[in-house]
A and B are shown apart, each in its own frame.
Chain A
Amino acid sequence: GDSVTQMEGPVTLSEEACLTINCTYTATGYPSLFWYVQYPGEGLQLLLKATKADDKGSNKGFEATYRKETTSFHLEKGSVQVSDSAVYFCALRDDKIIFGKGTRLHILP
């Protein structure tokens, strides 16, 4: 069945560092891909999405490119802030959404 694998955390970085959180997927069809963010005490919020190969989703300085050849959708940001500290979930959607296990990101001032 479909699945999502993302890098384990926690990931700890200093403010202004570059971020990459890896995400790979397996799917029989052509899913849409998403990154969600969960801030402490809150539900998940959609961060960005891509619906077909080579699409790039972007929001709040974060980017991810749908790479069909490597079945990947890595999340990147050039300069992180303390306010980016949260748990990040990669997900795919065919008929239902399937989530990765989440990666906790901690940014130090």
Chain B
Amino acid sequence: DADVTQTPRNRITKTGKRIMLECSQTKGHDRMYWYRQDPGLGLRLIYYSFDVKDINKGEISDGYSVSRQAQAKFSLSLESAIPNQTALYFCATSPPGTDNQPQHFGDGTRLSIL
């Protein structure tokens, strides 16, 4: 089983719809992240959470919201989807502290907004 699981893997929807992307992890890590990947732009951080009661905006949080339902679950919502939110979305985890451990990624959710 994958350590970081994202659902759905692919989604096509229409402008204005509400969409939720889900992420669950079995790593036992406190820290979870949502990124989006666009061609030529690399990965950009949307939101991150260092524990269940901690939610922080990343560099491109506008138009998105998140929910940390439990240590193992971190959901990303698009309240009213727009076409420029078409992208590949990744969830990632990492352990706390200054041990400099790298993040572990899910396989991504490809989202298309028509």
Contact = CB atoms under 8 A, between A and B. Distances in A.
Interface of A: 32, 34, 36, 41-46, 49, 51, 89, 93, 96-97, 99-102
A32 B94 CA distance: 14
B102 A43 contact: no
A101 B103 CA distance: 17
A80 to B, nearest CB: 22
Interface string B21-50: 000000000000100000011110100100
Contacts of B90: 43-44
B74 interface: no
A109 B43 CA distance: 29
Given A43-B108, A96-B48, A101-B40, 20 more contacts: A32-B100, A36-B102, A41-B107, A42-B107, A43-B90, A43-B105, A43-B107, A44-B43, A44-B90, A44-B92, A44-B105, A46-B102, A51-B100, A89-B42, A89-B43, A93-B102, A96-B45, A99-B43, A100-B42, A101-B41
Chain A interface mostly: strand
Contacts, number: 39
Given A42-B107, A43-B90, A43-B108, A49 B102 contact: yes
Interface residues of B, number: 18
Contacts of A93: 100, 102
